[in-house]
Amino acid sequence: MRFTLLLLALFSASLSAQNCTEGCGSISGISWLDENENGIRDVGEPGVATDVRLLEINTGNLYVIFTQDGNYTYPNLAAGNYLVEFGPQDQNLSLTLSQQGDDPTVDSDPLPGSVAVEIQLGEGEDVTSAADIGWVTGIGCDLTFQETRSPSCDNPSADLEIITRGLGQATLTLNGVVIGETINDTFLINNVEPGFNDLTAVFADGCQTFITFNVSAPDPFLGIEQIGSFCTDPGAVTLQAVHDDASPVLGYLWSDGSTLPFLVGVEYQQEYSVTVSFANGCVASASYQVLPTEVVFPDTVRLLDCTILTDTFRLPVEFVPGIRFQLLEGLNDPVTITEFVFDTTTTYFVEPVEEEACWVEGFGIIEDGRLDNLVFEQRRPDDCLLEEATVFVFNPESSLTSPDITFNFFGPAEIRVNANERSFAELLEANVGTYSVEVSTTCGDTTMFLDVTIPDTCDFAPNVSGFVRLNDDGTCNASPNLSGVGIPGINVRLSNGPREYYFVTDSAGKWEGLVLAGDYAVTTFAPLDSSLVGCGTRAIGTDDDGDPPMLISPMIEVQNCASLNVEIVSSRFRRCFENSAYVNYANRGSRSAQNTELKVTVDPLFEEVTATADFTREGDTLTFNLSDINAFGNGQIRIDFIVSCESDFGQLHCIEAQITADNACNPGDGIALIDVRGAGCETDSLFFDILNVGTEAMTEDLEYYVYVSGQLSQDYSQIVPGLAGGESLRLSFPATGETVQVIARQSAAAGATGAIFPSAIIESCGGVMTGNATKISSDNELLGRATYCRTNQGSFDPNEKLVFPTGLGEDNDVQPGTRLTYELHFQNTGTDTAFTVVIRDTLPLELDLETIEFGPASHDYTVMVDNGRALTFRFDDINLVDSFTNVPGSMGVVSFTIDHDTSLQRGDRFQNRAGIFFDFNEPIITEYARTRLAPLDLMVSADAHLATEVTALEIYPNPTADRLRITLTEAPTASGLEVIIQNAVGAEVARRPFQGTTTELSAANLPDGFYIATLAGAGRVYAMGKFVVKH
C-alpha cells in the first residue's frame, strides 16, 4: 500500500519550531509494528521509523519530525485543533486494525483506511495516547474471513464475517454476484451454501484480491462404546451409542432391531451397527465389532523377604470361572488359577488364549526390589572441585539401610566409606575416570558405573589478592587510600554468578587465594561487633595468564571509640589432667584503646592456673593489664590449668572474660539493650540480674523465662514493666542443686546488637553443675564480653566437630535466630610429629556464609571458603607432637561462629561434619554436628493476651504406672492440637492428637521419672502439666 501524505500537498508553510508561551500543551505517541496483527500494542512490539507531520488547523502551520524508534513528541503547543499524519519509512507496511480492544491507550487510533488523526488540544493539555498508529508487515490487499455460524442439519448454510484489516472500503463479489461494500473493515455474509465458494474484493485504490473457501456440510459424529468386562461379568457387557450433535435424538435402531440407546447381551467378536435420527434432520450410522477385555497386571512383583525367597503373585482381577490364560512362554496347557507362589527370582509371562473374550497378559519380575530403580550419582558443589565429590547409591522407592545389603566402590581415586552411611563414598583425591559400585543382597546383585570428569573450562587463575585498608577521611570516595592502614580479620567475598569464594585478611590487611578465571565482584564484611563499615562492592578481573591482579578495598570507621572484642576457646576439659584455654582479644576499630584491662574469671575447680602473660589474681578472677592497644591490634593469652579431681564426671565448668578501656565503645549507646548476668548464690538462694545496659528506656514490657534443669518453669517466668536506661532487676530463686537459667527477650530497640535471647545460668548452687548451660546459648553477644562453658570429659573422640549450644532433647532443638558456635578438635594420635594439619568442612546450605566469623584457635591458621562451600583451615608448620610424647601438646582446636539462613522454618534440620588431614595421611572424618530449629517456641510467650490460654492440664492419676488421663477444663478453640510428652531432659517420648477436652495414653512402657505434657499446635503452646511415672 502506498501512503499519500496530504499535509505536504495541501499546505506549503515552512517547517519551523512551535511557538507557545502560556498554557502550552503537547501531543505525543508511537508508531509501532503490530507483530501479531491484533490491532493492540502488546508488550515488546517494536517501534517503526516514521515521518510524523503536524498540521495546526487554525493557523495552517505545518511541522514535521522524523522518529527512528517510533516515539514522537510535539511540545509547546497552543490550544487548538491539530491533524497528525504518519508516513512509515518502510513502504512494505500496511495499516493494522483500527480502534481494537477496551484500552484506548494501546490501540491504533486512525479511522480504517486513514493514516491521520485529528486532535482537539485543550489549554495546558498533554495528549499521550490518542495519536498512536500500528502497522503490519506486507503490502497489497489481503483479507481474511471467519465463520460466525456453522452449518447444522436444520440449517446447512453458514454465516461469514469478511475482514479487510484496515485496507479501506472494498467491493465484494461472491460467486460472480456483487454482494456489497465493507464498513469499518468488515462485511457479514449470511446463508452461504455448503461447498466451494469464490470471493473477490476490489479496494478503492484499485487493489484486488481473490480467495476460494469451502463451507462443510453438517456431519454429526456417531460412535459406539464398549462398556463392561468379559473377565468379571460377561452378561453385563454393553454397547453404548455416543454422538456430538446438540440436537435431541428422535430414535435409535440397532442391527438386531433394538431401539434403546444401548445394546445389552452382546457376544465376543460379533459385529453390530446402529442408526440414529436427530430432531434437526440429521441421520448418522456406525458399526462396531465386539473386542476382548484386556487385563494387564503390574510390570514388576518384588520379593518381600529375600531370606525366604518366596513371594505370592496374584493376578489383579477376580475372574469369572472358566477364564483361561497361559503361564510362561511355551506352556501349551491353558490354566485358570489366579494365584501362584514362586521360589526363585526370575521373569514370568502371562499370555492370553486366542479364543478367549478375556485377555490376561503381561509379565512379572520376581526380584529383590531394592535393586530395582537404583541410581548411582555423584554430588559436587562445583564441577571444578573434584576434591569435594561424593559418589552414592540410592533407591527413590525403598531404603538401602538393611544390614544384608553390601556396597563395594571402585575407582581411580582413593575412596572412603563411612561406617554409618555405607551407600556413600567420598573421593579423597582429585582423580577423574570411571567409578563403579557393586551392590549385593542375599538374593541378588548388580554393578553400576559412573564417569567422573572435570570440564575443560575449569582453568584456575594465578593467585588473586588485595588489601582492605582504612579510608582516613571517613568517606567512601571513589579513590581508596592506597597508603591507609591495613585491616586484619576482614572477610572478603569474591562472587561471580553462581561462584563464591571467601578469604580473610591477615595482620597487614592482605588477602589472597586461587579462583577460577573470570570477573568477580568483591565485597568486604566487617566483624559483627566492629565499628567499621565496608564501602560497597568493587570489581576484579582474573585470567589464567599474566600477573595476578591486586585490588584495594576501602572501609571507614563510624564510631569515635575503641571497639574491643574478646573470645575464648579451649581443648576438652579433662579431670585431673593439664588443659589449656585460649583467650583472644582485639581492638577492631581504628581508635587506639587506652588503659586496656582484661579480666578472666576461671572456674573454681581449676587448679594450678598459669598464663602466658602476667596477671594479678583476686579469688578466681585473673586481671591482665594490656596498657594501650593500637588500632586493629590483637593478641592471645593461653591459660593453663588442671581440672580438679574433686569434680564429678560430666560436671560443667565456665570461663568468663571481659575487656575494658577508658575509651571503649558502649554497645548500648542510643538504644535499649538487655543483658542477663548470674549474680551468685548463697546457701539457700541464687540470684540473677537483668540489666538494661543501654542509655535509652525500653518501650515494651520486659519478658523473661526461667528454665529449671532444662524445663521451662511457668511459675517463675514473668512479664514485668520495661527497664529504664541503666536500670536493673534482681531475681532470686531457691538453691536446690538444680540448674537454673534465666533468658530474657531482647528489646526491639536493640536491633542487631546483642543476642535475641540474652541469658545467664547458675549450676551447682546447692548441688553439682550438670551441663545444661551448653543446651541453650548463654553467650549474650555483647561487645567486650565472652562466656565459655563446657563439661569435663573422661574418654573422648580425639577428632570431633561440636556445635554449641547443643540444643534441647534428642533432636538438639535451638530457638530460631540462635547464633551457632562450631568447634573442631583434633589430636595427633600417630607415632611422629605432624607438620601440617588441614581441616575441610563443607558447610550446609542452611548456614549463612555472609555471617561467618573465624574464632580463636590453639595454633595460627589460614582460612578460606571455596566455591563448594568448603571451609578450609590450614595449619602450616604446626609441628604437632604425637600423643605418646606429650598429650596436651598433641591437641589442637579451632572455632567459628555463624548464623543459620533466615529463610529456615521451625522444624528444619541441618548437619555437617569435617575431614581432618594430618600431613599426607588419609583424612579422619568426624561425626555429624546436628541442629534442629525448635518446632515449638522454647520461650513460651508471657504476653497478657496469651496468659489466659496457657493453662494447666489436669493429669490423673499422678503418679501413674499404667493409663493416664489428660484433661483440659474447656475445649480449645484451635484445631489440629497434639499432646506431646517429654522426659526430664527434654526428649520427646510420645505424641498423640488431642480432640475435645480429654485424651488417654498408656504410660506402661515409660521408664520411671518426671515428665511434662504439652498441648500444642501451629507453633503455639496452649497448656502444660507435669506428672510422674512410678511402677
Extract the C-alpha cell encoding 600: 578472666
- Binned at pLDDT 50, 70 and 90, residue 1029 comes out as confident
Q: Is the pLDDT of residue 863 over 90?
A: yes
Nearest to 804 by CA among 714, 875, 923, 895: 895
- State how far the Cα of 900 lies from the Cα of 883, in Å rounded to an integer: 36
Extract the C-alpha cell encoding 188: 457479514
Which one has a higher pLDDT value, 81 or 345? Answer: 81
Give the chain's mean pLDDT.
82
At residue 69, the pLDDT reads: 93
Compute CA distances 564 → 224, 514, 898, whole Å: 88, 32, 20
The average pLDDT across 295-308 equals 66
The average pLDDT across 920-947 equals 68
The residues, ordered by sequence, that sit 6+ positions from 479 with a Cβ below 8 Å of its Cβ are: none
Nearest to 210 by CA among 183, 171, 180, 182: 171
Q: Is the pLDDT of residue 940 over 80?
A: no
The residues, ordered by sequence, that sit 6+ positions from 78 with a Cβ below 8 Å of its Cβ are: 18, 19, 20, 23, 24, 25, 56, 121
Q: Please compute Rg for the chain using Cα positions.
A: 42
- State how far the Cα of 104 lies from the Cα of 1006, in Å rounded to an integer: 76
Task: Tell me which range, 296-300, 310-314, 416-420, 856-860, is most confidently predicted by mean pLDDT.
Answer: 856-860
Nearest to 734 by CA among 676, 683, 805, 778: 683
At residue 16, the pLDDT reads: 39
Q: Does domain 666-789 have CATH number 3.40.50.970?
A: no
Q: Does domain 942-1029 have CATH number 3.40.50.1370?
A: no
Residue for grid cell 495516547: 129
**Interval 586-616: pLDDT, tens:** 998 889 999 999 999 999 999 999 999 999 9
Indicate the fold that domain 25-137 takes in CATH: Immunoglobulin-like (2.60.40)
Domains 463-557 and 666-789 share a fold: yes
- State how far the Cα of 800 lies from the Cα of 930, in Å rounded to an integer: 13
Which DSSP state fits 604? T
Compute CA distances 258 → 252, 270, 273, whole Å: 8, 16, 11
Which one has a higher pLDDT value, 869 or 299? Answer: 869
Extract the C-alpha cell encoding 183: 464498513
N-terminal to C-terminal alpha carbon distance within the chain: 101
At residue 205, the pLDDT reads: 66
The average pLDDT across 896-903 equals 93
Which DSSP state fits 15? P
Task: Tell me which range, 467-476, 552-561, 588-597, is most confidently predicted by mean pLDDT.
Answer: 588-597
Phi first, then psi, for residue 774 (nearest 5°) are -85, -10
The tally of CA atoms less than 13 A away on the side-chain side of residue 290 is 22
Q: Is the pLDDT of residue 299 over 70?
A: no
DSSP 240-298: EEEE---SPEEEEEETTS--SSEEES--TT-EEEEEEEETTS-EEEEEEEPPPEEEE--
- Binned at pLDDT 50, 70 and 90, residue 381 comes out as low
Nearest to 78 by CA among 117, 41, 23: 23
At residue 31, the pLDDT reads: 94
Class of domain 375-452: mainly beta
Q: Is the pLDDT of residue 429 over 70?
A: no
When mean pLDDT is compared across 24-28, 410-414, 912-916, the lowest value belongs to 410-414
Of the chain, the percentage scoring pLDDT greater than 70 comes to 87
75, 53 Cβ separation under 8 angstroms: no
Which one has a higher pLDDT value, 478 or 270? Answer: 270
At residue 344, the pLDDT reads: 66
679, 732 Cβ separation under 8 angstroms: no
Which DSSP state fits 194? S
Compute CA distances 319 → 237, 332, 349, 352, 361, whole Å: 14, 21, 18, 13, 13
Nearest to 936 by CA among 808, 845, 844, 848: 808
Q: Does domain 560-663 have CATH number 3.90.930.12?
A: no
When mean pLDDT is compared across 63-67, 357-361, 376-380, 844-848, the lowest value belongs to 376-380
Which one has a higher pLDDT value, 393 or 634? Answer: 634
- Binned at pLDDT 50, 70 and 90, residue 442 comes out as confident
Sign of CA dihedral 490, 491, 496, 501: positive
Helix then strand count (H, E) for the chain reads: 2, 81
- State how far the Cα of 709 lies from the Cα of 477, in Å rounded to an integer: 55
Out of 2.60.40, 1.10.3680, 1.10.940, 3.40.30, which CATH number does the structure's domain 294-368 have?
A: 2.60.40
Which DSSP state fits 309? T
Phi first, then psi, for residue 472 (nearest 5°) are -65, -25
699, 751 Cβ separation under 8 angstroms: no
Q: Is the pLDDT of residue 39 over 50?
A: yes
445, 439 Cβ separation under 8 angstroms: yes
At residue 271, the pLDDT reads: 94
* Rounded-to-10 torsion of CA 851, 855, 860, 866: -20
> Burial of 763 by CB count in 10 Å (0-12 exposed, 13-18 middle, 19+ buried)?
buried
At residue 331, the pLDDT reads: 54
- Binned at pLDDT 50, 70 and 90, residue 878 comes out as very high
Phi first, then psi, for residue 6 (nearest 5°) are -70, -30
- State how far the Cα of 989 lies from the Cα of 1006, in Å rounded to an integer: 8
Which one has a higher pLDDT value, 518 or 292? Answer: 292
pTM for the full model? 0.54
Class of domain 463-557: mainly beta
- State how far the Cα of 135 lies from the Cα of 151, in Å rounded to an integer: 35
At residue 152, the pLDDT reads: 77
When mean pLDDT is compared across 227-236, 507-516, 977-986, the lowest value belongs to 977-986
834, 918 Cβ separation under 8 angstroms: yes
**Interval 527-538: pLDDT, tens:** 877 788 888 888
**Interval 686-717: pLDDT, tens:** 899 999 988 999 999 998 888 887 677 877 88
When mean pLDDT is compared across 64-73, 635-644, 663-672, 894-903, the lowest value belongs to 663-672
Burial 595-624, CB ≥16 within 10 A → b, else e:
ebbbbbbbbebbeebebeeebeeeeeebeb
- Binned at pLDDT 50, 70 and 90, residue 289 comes out as very high
113, 166 Cβ separation under 8 angstroms: yes
- State how far the Cα of 553 lies from the Cα of 522, in Å rounded to an integer: 8
Extract the C-alpha cell encoding 476: 567512601
CATH architecture for residues 222-291 = Sandwich (2.60)
Of the chain, the percentage scoring pLDDT greater than 90 comes to 28
- State how far the Cα of 813 lies from the Cα of 804, in Å rounded to an integer: 11
Helix (H/G/I), strand (E/B), else coil: 870 = strand
Q: Is the pLDDT of residue 4 over 50?
A: no
- State how far the Cα of 542 lies from the Cα of 545, in Å rounded to an integer: 9
Extract the C-alpha cell encoding 388: 569435594
- Binned at pLDDT 50, 70 and 90, residue 7 comes out as very low
- State how far the Cα of 490 lies from the Cα of 468, in Å rounded to an integer: 8
At residue 949, the pLDDT reads: 44
- State how far the Cα of 421 lies from the Cα of 804, in Å rounded to an integer: 25
The tally of CA atoms less than 13 A away on the side-chain side of residue 628 is 7
The average pLDDT across 436-446 equals 82
Query: What CATH superfamily classification does 142-215 receive?
Result: Immunoglobulins (2.60.40.10)
When mean pLDDT is compared across 153-167, 350-364, 496-510, 682-696, the lowest value belongs to 153-167
- Binned at pLDDT 50, 70 and 90, residue 8 comes out as very low
Which one has a higher pLDDT value, 739 or 384? Answer: 739
Which DSSP state fits 808? B
- State how far the Cα of 675 lies from the Cα of 1023, in Å rounded to an integer: 29
Query: Domain segments of the chain: what residues?
Result: 25-137, 142-215, 222-291, 294-368, 375-452, 463-557, 560-663, 666-789, 813-933, 942-1029
The residues, ordered by sequence, that sit 6+ positions from 843 with a Cβ below 8 Å of its Cβ are: 849, 852, 865, 869, 870, 871, 898, 912
- State how far the Cα of 735 lies from the Cα of 343, in Å rounded to an integer: 69
DSSP 408-454: EEE-SS-EEEETTEEEEEEE-S---EEEEEEEEETTEEEEEEEEE--
CA 83 to chain centre: 57
CATH architecture for residues 813-933 = Sandwich (2.60)
When mean pLDDT is compared across 47-61, 374-388, 713-727, the lowest value belongs to 374-388
At residue 2, the pLDDT reads: 36
The average pLDDT across 109-114 equals 74
Which DSSP state fits 621? E
* Residues comprising the chain, all counted: 1031
At residue 552, the pLDDT reads: 85
Nearest to 639 by CA among 618, 615, 659: 615
- State how far the Cα of 753 lies from the Cα of 747, in Å rounded to an integer: 10
Q: Is the pLDDT of residue 130 over 50?
A: yes
Q: Is the pLDDT of residue 942 over 50?
A: no
